Structure 1
Amino acid sequence: MFKPLPVAIGLRYLRAKRRNGFISFISLASMLGIALGVAALITTLAVMSGFQREIRDRMLQMVAHATVSGYGEPIHDWPSAVSLAAADPRVAGAAPYVETETLLSASRKQPAIVRGVLPGEEEKVSVLGEKMVRGELDSLQPGSFNIVLGKELAQWIGAEVGDNVVMMTSEARSTPMGALPQLKRFTVSGIFEAGYNEFDRGMAFVNMRDLQRLQRIGDGVTGVRLRLHDMDQSWDVAQDLAARIGGPYRVSDWTSENANMFRALKMEKAIMAVLLSLIIAMGAFNLVSSQVMLVTDKQADIAIMRTLGLTPRAVMQVFMVQGTLIGVVGTIAGVIGGIVLTLNLEVILLGVEKLFGVVLLPEDVYYITGLPTELQATDVVTIALVALAMAFLATLYPAWRAARTPPAEALRYE
């Protein structure tokens, strides 16, 4: 099979037994360094992507994909808005809600967001009913003044099912003693656990009619929450619905309402990728060292090839081929190792726990007890290309130095 001369010589050098075994050791170390860096980067990014997916899925179980709300004023024509949304084929469900910031008090006090919902309609936009660990969501009947608390919130204020909780809202009422905050006693009829701290620690639910009565807004609501078949269309669908309802309405979707969290997760993943790339860079630096030592070791061979007519460019290509192949082998080994490690990470975690008798992710500390992973093809390809680019760049200086070797000086003492 025909091979270009630089490629053939480079492959021959790669397979040949070298006089200096230390050079072979450094070449092997650089190959292993690249493989280790690639495998570690693939596994780490897969774990971070898995955690991001888990957090997003848990959040979206409780958060509407899109919301249409009034600018500080309640929406009174919400039945027509719900009807218009339900008629849209892109909408899977729509439900009204009333929301306010409160201070809940039992044995201790804790600020929380209280959302008034209709139990029969809420299941169209969230899985709150499925997340109940004690009690039932249907207990939130009009006039019952029952309340459903998040698990962490209930523990923090010291409330259980059947206990009374005092809700204090920011809406003041006029009395002979002046303006006083609204106070209302609710009975805890259920506790839910969403597996997401923002909801379990800071959310409570009551019947929408009870909260309307407490806020004195008549039949008005804060807004309409939407669940879509394709959550990526949330902004466009909400804009269309607001335009059809008419009037100035505020539109938001799940990405804008949680933009800070998603930006933080994305930045954390990017920073981790940069830091772990230093492992690959370390392997590339080792590759530079091994190639420089190889060029020094092959001074006589380079001089002979030059006298036989090999051009400086061809000499440079010989050593570039050899160094690049080391990078290619290391990258392929790292990609295979990273994929295998990622796919078996849960089994490895269980094995480590059994071997040392420890629980690495205890249920009473972490919301996510397993180790979720999501192997993304774009991440694997990007990591492989970065590793190959580093390996290629690492060969340039040694190859350039080999091309500048003077034949006469190299052969003077041979």
Structure 2
Amino acid sequence: MSPQRYELWIGLRYTAGRRRNRLVSFISLASMLGIAIGVATLIAVLSVVNGFERELKSRVLAMSAHASIYAFEGHLQNWRQLADQTRSNGDVVAVAPFVSGEVLVRAGNENLGVPAFQGVLPEEETQVTDIAKYIVDGRFDGLVAGGYGIVIGHELAKKLKVGIGDKIGLLTLQTKPNGDFLPRLRQFAVVAIFNAGLYEVDMKAAYIHLADAQALFGAGEGVTGLHLKLSDPLRAPSIAMQVASSLQGLFYVDDWTRSHDNFFRAIASTKSVMFIIFSLIVAVAAFNIVSTLVMVVHDKQAAIAILRTLGSTPRSIMLIFMVQGTLIGAIGTLAGAAGGIALSLSLESLASAFQAISGHQLMSAEVYDLGELPSDLAAWDVIRISLMSLLLGLGSTLYPAWRASKMQPAEALRYE
């Protein structure tokens, strides 16, 4: 054994322990299990949060325009010309006009507000969003000018207890020239129902034809704004500003990163909080390494004294016990990482099996916006969690190893 490696060999030997000292071995095993459970749990939890973010982002992008341009005041009357100018930008894939406003829907005894109410041109809107792909009953192109048809989400249809062909009353408020409000009630027939798998959308979104919306809101030939589909959704803020600045006039620009900012801020906050909370589990388990090494140092006083007498330096003694503590942390981290990866990859199937056996719905669509438990394992999460666990394990060895290195041979052998 080379002199440079004897610290490693002795540290590994101490980690195995002796049969007579079962308490030290048990505490070492408990530390490994605690670290493994903490690491696995943290990886699985962050995978679920990543899954939420992935699902929300994909469905938001499928059901929403990447960016929108609004008139600074009133309605866009020259929207056809603006749409042609907007399409000339190489980053704009498609453009669709829309009219939006506040509406109260009535069916039977139910009265509900629909904040995401829009009038659209079906043939153009389907080029900007994927709404037509989520139609589960009827047809989106069933919206025709003057037909007074409406497309609603399945959650809203369920709440109103309506189906294809049923009538829904739409109540709007129009502003008169003198500033008074004039309520208007119009009956619309349900021509299609969509299911985006996102409760917030399925409950609070509805579409009618653009011409019907213009008549309903008194917009004349104008529109509220233009929906844009972009070549790169991740660059939506900069592209939208670039497009708006190229147009003549004052416009208000919005994009999906701002209109759905609350969703993604909540997810980011949840992810940070979860990381901190479950890191504490790993920290508590790593603290057990301190107890283990303190007991080992006490048990190995005579061996430490002999090693010092034979010429071992305090640095070598410190390395011996650091090897032992680091090995405990490394084994726990590797076991936890393997378990966390396996759990994350099979989480969706495990959740489905649990729901089928127990009959209990883990994910309520009304609470979580999703009907199933998503999971998205990120390599960076596994790496940073593993590094954090290894550093905590290494840090837990410093104090006991330092105490061992300061032990004097004469004091250690006095009572031997």
The Cα shift of 1:243 comes to: 1.0
- What is the number of residues matched between the two proteins? 411
Structure 1 stretch displaced more, 229-238 or 156-165: 156-165
Residue 74 (structure 1) shift: 1.1
Question: Structure 1 residue 353: deviation in Å?
Answer: 4.5
Cα separation, 2, equivalents of 1:242 and 1:388: 50
The structural deviation recorded for 1:65 is 0.9
Deviation at 1:30, TM superposition (A): 0.4
* Runs of 5+ consecutive residues of structure 2 not aligned to the other structure: none
- The equivalent residue for 1:405 is 407
Distance (whole Å) between structure 1 residues aligned to residue 162 and residue 398 of structure 2: 68
Q: Tell me the amino acid that sits aligned with residue 250 of structure 1.
A: Y
The answer for the alignment partner of 2:270 in structure 1 is 268
Cross-structure match for 1:105 = 106
3-state SS of 1:133 partner: strand
Paired AA for residue 267 in structure 1: S
- Code of the residue aligned with 2:257 in structure 1: it is T
Flag the 1:357–1:164 CA change in 2: closer, same or farther, 3 A: closer
2:90 is equivalent to residue 126 of structure 1? no
2:156 paired residue number:
153
- Write out aligned runs for 1:42-53 (5 A): 42-53=43-54
Q: Secondary structure at the match of 1:85?
A: helix
How far is 1:166 from its partner? 2.0
- In structure 2, C-alpha distance between the alignment counterparts of 1:126 and 1:27, rounded to whole Å: 56
- CA deviation map 1:243-283 (0-9, x unaligned): 11121111111111111121111111211121111221121
2:61 alignment counterpart: 60
**In structure 2, what is the Cα distance between the partners aligned to 1:381 and 1:188?**
51
- 1:348 and 1:362 mapped to 2: Cα distance? 13
TM-superposed deviation, 1:93? 1.7
Aligned equivalents of 1:409, 1:294: Cα separation in 2: 17
Q: After TM superposition, give the deviation of residue 231 of structure 1 in Å.
A: 0.7
In 2, Cα distance between the equivalents of 1:99 and 1:351? Answer: 43
Partner of 1:396: 398
Indicate the SS of the match to 2:73. coil
One-letter identity of the residue aligned with 1:305? L
Report if aligned partners of 2:198, 2:370 keep a CA contact under 8 Å in 1.
Answer: no
1:33-81 Cα shifts (integer Å, max 9, x gaps): 1111111111111122112211221122111111111123211222233
Q: For residue 137 of structure 1, what is the amino acid of its counterpart?
A: F
Q: What is aligned with 1:81?
A: 82
Tell me by how many angstroms 1:369 deviates. 4.1
Counterpart position of 2:307 = 305
The residue number in structure 1 matching 2:94 is 93
Shift of 1:409: 1.2
Structure-2-length-normalised TM-score: 0.93
RMSD: 2.1
- 3-state secondary structure, aligned to 1:109: strand
User: Which position in structure 2 is the counterpart of 1:284?
Assistant: 286
Q: Do residues 116 (structure 1) and 119 (structure 2) align?
A: yes
| Partner of residue 333, structure 2 | 331
Cα distance in 1 for residues equivalent to 2:154 and 2:346: 33
User: Given the alignment of the two structures, is residue 12 of structure 1 paired with residue 31 of structure 2, yes or no?
Assistant: no
Deviation string, structure 1 residues 302-352 (Cα, Å, up to 9, x no partner): 111122222222211211111111111111111112112222223333444
| Partners of 2:17 and 2:24 within 8 A in 1 | no
Q: CA deviation at 1:241?
A: 1.0
CA positional deviation for 1:203: 1.4
Contact 2:106 2:169 in 1 (8 A): yes
CA contact (8 A) 2:128 2:228 kept: yes
Whether the 8 Å CA contact 1:38–1:334 is kept in 2: the answer is yes
Q: Percent identity?
A: 43
Structure 1 length-normalised TM: 0.93
TM-aligned CA distance change 1:236 to 1:346, over 3 Å: same
**Quick check: 1:172–1:182 contact (8 Å CA) kept in 2?**
no
Moved more, 289-298 or 301-310: 301-310
Aligned to 2:383: 381
What SS is found at the alignment partner of 1:46? Answer: helix
Cα distance between partner residues in 2 of 1:116 and 1:353: 39
Match of 1:238 in 2: 240
